[in-house]
Each structure stands twice: as C-alpha cells, then as structure tokens.
Structure 1
Amino acid sequence: MRLAILGGGGFRVPLVYRALLGDRAEGRVTEVVLHDVDGARAGAIARVLADQAAGVVDAPAVRVTADLDEALRGADFVFSAIRVGGLEGRAADERVALAEGVLGQETVGAGGIAYGLRTVPVAVDIARRVRRLAPEAWVINFTNPAGLVTEAMARHIGDRAIGICDSPVGLGRRVAGLLDVPPGRARLDYVGLNHLGWLSGLEVDGQDLLPRLLGDHALLESFEEGKLFGADWLQSLGVIPNEYLHYYYFNRETVRAYRMAEQTRGAFLRDQQARFYEAMRSPETPAFQAWDATRAEREATYMAHNREAAGAGERAPEDMESGGYEQVALALMRAIARDERATLILNVRNRTTLPELDSDAVIEVPCTVDASGPHPAAVSPLPGHATGLVCAVKAVEREVLAAADSGSRATAFKAFALHPLVDSVSVARRLVDGYRQAHPGLAYLT
C-alpha cells in the first residue's frame, strides 16, 4: 500500500514511520510519499526516516515530492498533517489574541478560529484533489483544528475523511492504568468535539469502573487530569474532561500564565524546530539523534502553561511515552485495509450519535472500524453542563466554514464574537483586523 503524507516535512512524521516499521503483516504500507511545500524540511525528515530504517528488512520505501498531485496519485491512504502559515503563524495567532487578553491556543478560542480560517481553504483544495486523483483513498486528518478541518474535507469526500487525535487515547490510557485495567480491555464511554470531550465511563466486562476513580480523592489527584482540574472539580462534574477543557474551566488563570510566560508555546516550538532544521542543513548532523532529542524536549514542555496555572508540576514520565496519534493512524489503516475490526476514538460525522447536532456535524466518539470505514458507537448522552458548550463551539465552527467558503469578513467576525472564550464583540472586531494584518493568507476575507 502507498501512504502519502501531506506536510511530510513536519516534525512528527518520524513517529508515523516508526509505527509503520513495526508493522510486518500482509497488506502493510510499503511506500511512503512525503509532500511538503518546503523541500528542505522534507529532505531533513527523509534523512531521519533513513536513519530509522537502517538495518530494517523491507522497510517502507520513502520518496519526496513537491508536486501535490503526484503525491496523491495512486495513494491508498492520505495522511494530512499540514500547517498553513507554519509555526510563525501559530506564534502570531497567540500574540494577536493575548494582546486582546484572550486565549490564542492553536485549536481553542481565537487562535483556533484564526488557524481554521487559514487552513480550511487549503484543506478543501486537498479534498477536491483527492476526489479527482485518488477517489478510493482514505484521508486521515491530523491537521488542526482537527474536527473543523475534517468536517470541511468530509463535505467533499464524505466518510473517507477521518480525523484523529491522541488526546482521548492518552486520557483513556491514564484512567485505565489507575484502575489496573490491562490495555485494550476497557470500553471508553467518551464523546464531544475534538479537544472538547468528556469521559463518562470506563467499562470492563459490563461494569463501569469510573465511579471508583471519581470516588477516590487521592487517586484522582495522582494523574494528569486530576492535577490540572483538581479532584474536587472532577467529582463535581462527575466525568473526566479532555485536558483541553482546562482552557475553558480555568481560562483566566491560563491566559495570565500565557501572558506572563517568557515565550508562548507556538514561539517556543518555532524557535526549537528552527534550530533542529538548521542543524539538519549539515550532512554531518546525526539525523535521528537530533530529532529524538528535540522530540523529548517538546514532549516534556507540552501544556506547560496550563500545568503552571494549575500548580500541576512536571509531566509524569509515562505521559511522555509514544503510542499516540501514530498508533491510532496505524490501527485505523490496518482495520480498513485488512478488514480487521478495531475500536478507536475518531473524528467522524455524527449521524445519530448526538441528537443535539445534525448528522453531518463532525464529532469525536468511539467507533468500530472495518473495511467499510468507521461506525460511531452508542455512547451516553452529553452531561447537561457539556451540551451548551458543544453546541456553542460547533456553531462557531460552522461560521468558520461559512466564512472560508464565502470569503465573508462579516461571517469571520461573527465566528470570533460567538466563541465562549471571546468575551466582547468589540474584541472580536479587533481580532479580525489583527489577524488579517498578521496573516497575508487571510486577505481573502473581504
């Protein structure tokens, strides 16, 4: 099988390739095509992959192309991990928002809207090309904001657009570990939108074990989400939120931590990765070693501002282990290509899962996956306190999609103004102006 990776010069591509190297079964990926608008970055990552493949018999072949159509032709799977505007764009998203006293995180709040407005037109173009050049291919989307971008692509290629995220996987793994449940034994009752979901049950042999965790104050405070949110708040909610809900529940504290920090997350990653790619210009640089050292630093500082705001301390070593989105992507490809049934938390069209949303709304939910693709599983209803937030954020996503489709500045302004984390219509108006000035790619909004 052939896998095309769009954004093939992206820093996390070696994680995907490592997962592919471990797959020796029939019908595995045998060719990887890296596409990137930055040839130097793609070349650097190709060197890392070559180091990974050293000594591995029948490692998937890797080639690099700057031609998007060439990358797509003949692909069985397309992995979309593009970053429109690069990390400089992410840093600008944070900077413009923080100047107005609101959150600029890349998937949540004003930053997520700005990123979506830049990304959706590009993602739609990719989806149209896939429909024309590789109509049988499945698109696995990791491009953020993942739910929003997946919904934009699904409008053109239907259920063949599937979004993935490692955040629910990590949450399920941590909770299962606390309850001494072996990996793969638990059925997760989880639902929401990407970066806006809640775990309301963890079932083993028909028994829900989550109440045992929620009833143990000390156990709740011993893991990542408990440290972020506090045991008292989790017990009050009666569910375990996705870590990204910290931006909503503790927004004021997080914005303060971002504003006081020496660097925002985007600026840190921009500078860190610039050093990596610059070092890779030298043929003497040991490619994999340089990449792995940079990766370890990146993982150790994940959501550092939130942990600082919550007083949560450093990340636990087990939370920096691999096995995230690349394993979800591999399991998804295996299930479809080999008709091996798997249960995965994915971003897919709602159908009838959440009655609060229409059938085409992309949600994040456990799915049974087989050769015909993902099928959303039955889940518990959204808690009352979650319903309003999900509906409000989905309404904002729809305004972003409408603005990207029409080029309407007024619609983009409406998206900012309606977001729960933008606290003033006047602020929303200034955000539109600030982002259009910061990003030439938003000049289409008129």
Structure 2
Amino acid sequence: MGDRLKVVVIGGGSSYTPELIEGFITHYDAFPVTDIVLVDIPEGRHKLEIVGALAQRMVQRSTLPISITLTLDRKEALSGAHFVSTQMRVGLLEARGWDESIPLRYGMLGQETTGAGGMMKALRTIPVLLDICRDMEALCPDAWLLNFTNPAGMVTEAIMKHTRIRSIGLCNSPIAAYKWLSGLYQVPTTRIYCEFVGLNHLHWISRIEIDGTSKLEELLAVGGSYSASNVPQLAWNDTLIRSLGAIPSYYLKYYYLHREMLEEQQSAAVKGETRAETVKRLEDELFDIYKQPELAEKPKQLELRGGAYYSEAAVHLMKAIHTDSFEVQTLNVMNGDTLAFLPSDACIEVNCVVTKNGAVPIPIERVPDGTIGLIQAVKTYESLAIEAAVTGSREKALLALSAHPLTDSVTSAESMLSEMLERNRKYVPQFFG
C-alpha cells in the first residue's frame, strides 16, 4: 500500500472518533497509519473542530508520526485513501427523534434501525453512501469502505449491489458479546469463540466455546444474555431461550417482546426519555469533556454510548486486511451460499476469515430452530427498502413495511409513511420528484 497509509473517516465529528484514534495509536506497530483525515458537513463543523483537537492531542501525546487533518471537502479527503470508515447520521439527532416519535403515534415501534424508523434512516442514508462510493470510484477505487453507519446491513447491501467499491459492514454488537463473556468467565477474548447467525441487529449466537469447551448449555440454563445501553433492559422469556438453543441479539427483543418494548417506548416518550433525547444529553456531556484542553485520551464516559467498542472493531478489521491476518471476525458480508435460504446477494452477519482480499464467510454449523422464517421476512423487507431508497418509490417503501414482521396494519403504515417522508423531505428528495 505504499509508504504512507491513509484512512478517511466520514463523519469525523462523531463522538465515537476518539475511540477510533485510540485504536490507531494502540495498533500502530502492526497498522502504521500515517494520515488520518476527519471529514464532516458544514452543520457538523463545530463538533469536528472539538473532536479534531482532541484527536491531535492524543496523537501528540503518543509521539507517533500520525497526521490529523480536518476538512469539509469530502472529495479532497478521499483522494488516495486506502481505507474509508463511515460513521455518519444523515439528518442528525433531530431526524432520529422523528424516527422514534412518529411511529409511536400510529401504535408502532420507533427505533433507529428496526421497523419504520429503521427504514426511514435507510431511505435518508443509502443515497448519501452511494454518492460517497461514486466519489471513491473516481478518487480511490481500490480503497476498502468499512461501514458502521446504521442500518449497517442494509447500507452495506446497497453498496454491494449498486457500486464497485469493496465494502464490509461492521457492528459493535458481536464485540460486546465477546466482552460480556470475557467478563463473565474472566478470560481474554482470544480464548473465546462464538458463532453468529443472521442479519445485522437480527442475529443469534448458536455456539459459545472457551478453549474449545462449549459453554452454551450452561448459559442457556441460567438465562445468560448480553445487552447494550441503547436497548431497554427487559428480561428474556427463559422458555424461549432454551427452546432456541441460542442466545439472541438484544435487538431481537423488539420482535420476541414486541408488546413490552412498545409499552416501554410509549412510557419513555411521555416522560421525554426517548433514546434520541438520551443520546443528545450524553453527547452534550461528552463534547463538554472533549473540550477540556488537558484531555488527551478517550474518556471513560464514551462507553455509555450505544455504539461503544465499534471503533475497536473497525481498527481490528483494517489491521486484519492490511496484515492479511486470516483471523476470524463477525462482519456484514455478501451471503453467497452461506445461508441457503437467502438470496446470494443478500447481506448477512456471520463469522468470516479476514484476508487482504476481504472477508470470507465461514460455513454455519447450525441455524437455531424457529429463526429461518424471521430472517427471511426481515431480509425481504430490507431488500425492498433498499430498492425504495434507490428509486424513490413510495410503493416499494410501503411494500417494504408490509413485509416487516412488526407492521400490524398497512393502512396505518401508509399514513405513517406519508408523514415520515414529509417530515424528512429535505433528506429524501428522491421521493419528491
């Protein structure tokens, strides 16, 4: 890759960026990044400057020869990049608030990656990511695009279907599961192996081993599970967990505990405690901390954000590609023939072997009982939503919602869709001619 190694971070003003910088510093010996360019939009200039200044202090303290550049010019940033990481939020937290609040008025879940809110985020985000890919095709066609932007699986599938860019999607959920198990058994994550089956934010852990010895049965017996700060901490149904013979992603609570999660969201909204409002408070606190001129490291408070550890996963993935490591990571990649019940061009979330040529899915040992139908239904919704985002078709968008397991009335969904599109008019021009 030449003498200099350039990484571009789209959404560089994100609160996650300090964790990313920490990762580059920690892994410099194996992954010697020389140029880091943090890119944002004019509305994000203030945050970019705060985060950028902290990043520069972190690099300065490390004494490593890493250059940090801040810019609002995406094309200038992308020229000659080796890796591009995306961690953006089209419409900012205001749009997330709409995604969470509007569906509730129609008696439906409001969540940034699941259901109607997740679809609106996809409709806003996919066209922007495809524009970034077109710039990459012209300016850095051989670069790897590592996508964390949610809904990560849908965005990654759109990139794979509609561009020539080499892209892999990633999420913090798998690494959070490893950290949970590491703490539970007091062993390093290198001694743990988990098999993940499914889609982004719709996966099950069907195998858990420590030093080759299965721990799944004992975890199922005691109702063991992992969680995240951005999903309500409702308890699983123990009978369901034992019947599955697998540990579900915490996002599956929106499906298995649909009524309870909806009631929790409605109650939180009445009290002004939606996730968007919570994140806004957390981010305000984080950026006040980031401003402190004596701060030159990632603050502990960042772990309270829902996407904590994403950046750790992102740096590990870049390093694995760069070093041709053949290590196993859980990633969002094209299905091929890994899950025979899904289309070959579907994006799935499974374990992969990472090489300099990309991520190769590992054959699945077991798909948990009772999960195939749900995976197929959600993938049908995702594929239709991607088509709607690209074409601007309201009919496809409604068809996508009709296929989603959490849509209980297409008539209500059509009214909800019209309101959400109108509220997002600025960010979804493809639906307005």
- Rounded to whole Å, the distance in 2 between the matches of 1:30 and 1:182 is 30
AA in 2 matched with 1:241:
P
Instruction: For residues 314-337 of structure 1, give each alpha carbon's deviation from its aligned partner in whole angstroms, at most 9, with x where no partner exists.
Output: xxxxxx9x6x22221111111111
- 1:378 alignment counterpart: 363
* Aligned match of 2:14: 10
Give the equivalent residue in structure 1 for 2:29: 25
* Corresponding position of 1:155: 161
**Cα distance between partner residues in 1 of 2:119 and 2:15:** 23
Q: Given the superposition, is the C-alpha separation of residues 223 and 151 from structure 1 closer, same or farther in structure 2, using an over 3 Å criterion?
A: closer
Q: Distance in 2 between matches of 1:259 and 1:32?
A: 42
Which secondary structure does the structure 2 equivalent of 1:200 belong to?
strand
| Offset at residue 93 of structure 1 (A) | 0.7
The alignment's TM-score, normalised by the length of structure 2, stands at 0.90
Partner of 1:309: none
Q: Secondary structure at the match of 2:336?
A: coil
Q: Name stretches of at least 5 consecutive residues in structure 2 with no aligned partner.
A: none
Give the AA of the match of 1:419. Answer: H
Alignment correspondent of 2:100: 94
Residue type of the partner of 1:245? L
Deviation at residue 132 of structure 1 after TM alignment: 1.7
1:125 partner SS:
helix
Give the whole-Å Cα distance in 1 for the aligned partners of 2:275 and 2:211. 41
Residue of structure 2 aligned with 1:260, choices 244, 267, 292: 267
Kindly tell me: are residues 23 and 289 of structure 1, through their superposed partners in 2, closer, same or farther at Cα, counting changes over 3 Å? closer
1:414 is the counterpart of 2:399 = yes
| Alignment partner of 1:445 is 2:428 | no
Contact 2:206 2:366 in 1 (8 A): no
Cα deviation, residue 382, structure 1: 2.2
Q: Note closer, same or farther for the CA distance 1:89–1:426 as it changes in structure 2 (3 Å cut).
A: same
Give the conservation status (yes or no) of the 8 Å contact 1:6–1:34. yes
Listed as ranges, the matches of 1:269-288 within 5 Å are 269-274=279-284, 277=287, 279=288, 285-286=292-293, 288=295
Q: Which residue of 1 aligns with 2:411?
A: 426
- Whole-angstrom distance in 2 between the partners of 1:224 and 1:417: 29
Question: What amino acid does structure 1 have at the position aligned with 2:235?
Answer: L
How do 1:216-227 residues align onto structure 2 when only pairs under 5 Å count? 217=222, 220=223, 224=227
Q: Does 1:336 align with 2:342?
A: no
Give, in whole Å, the separation in 1 of the partners of 2:177 and 2:282: 27
Distance 2:156 2:168 in 1: 6
Change in Cα spacing, 1:140 to 1:241, as seen in structure 2 (3 Å) is same
**Structure 1 residues 111 and 377 mapped into 2: Cα distance closer, same or farther (>3 Å)?**
same
Alpha-carbon spacing, 1:222–1:388, altered in 2? closer, same or farther (3 Å): closer
**Counterpart amino acid of 1:198?**
W
Structure-2 change in CA distance of 1:70 and 1:205 (3 Å)? same
Task: Give CA-to-partner distance per residue, 1:106-164, whole Å, 9 cap, x none.
Answer: 01111100100111111111112212211110000000000000111112445721001
Cα separation, 2, equivalents of 1:204 and 1:293:
28
| Shift, 1:209, TM fit | 2.7
Q: Counterpart of 1:431 in structure 2: which amino acid?
A: M
Offset at 1:356?
0.7
Partner of 2:58: 52
Structure 1 residue identity aligned to 2:33 = V
- Residue 234 of structure 1 is matched in structure 2 by 241
Identity of aligned residues (%): 35
Taking the aligned partners of 1:354 and 1:211, their CA distance within structure 2 comes to 24
Does structure 1 residue 248 correspond to structure 2 residue 255? yes
Asked if the contact 2:10/2:40 (under 8 Å) is kept, the reply is yes
1:393-440 deviation per Cα after TM superposition (whole angstroms, max 9, x unaligned)? 111111111112211111111112221111110121012111112112
Aligned 1:62-211 pairs, distance under 5 A: 62-157=68-163, 160-175=166-181, 177-179=183-185, 181-204=187-210, 206-211=212-217
Cα RMSD, aligned residues only? 2.5
Measure the CA separation in 2 of the matches of 1:379 and 1:205: 19
Tell me, in whole angstroms, the C-alpha distance in 1 between the residues paired with 2:186 and 2:277: 39
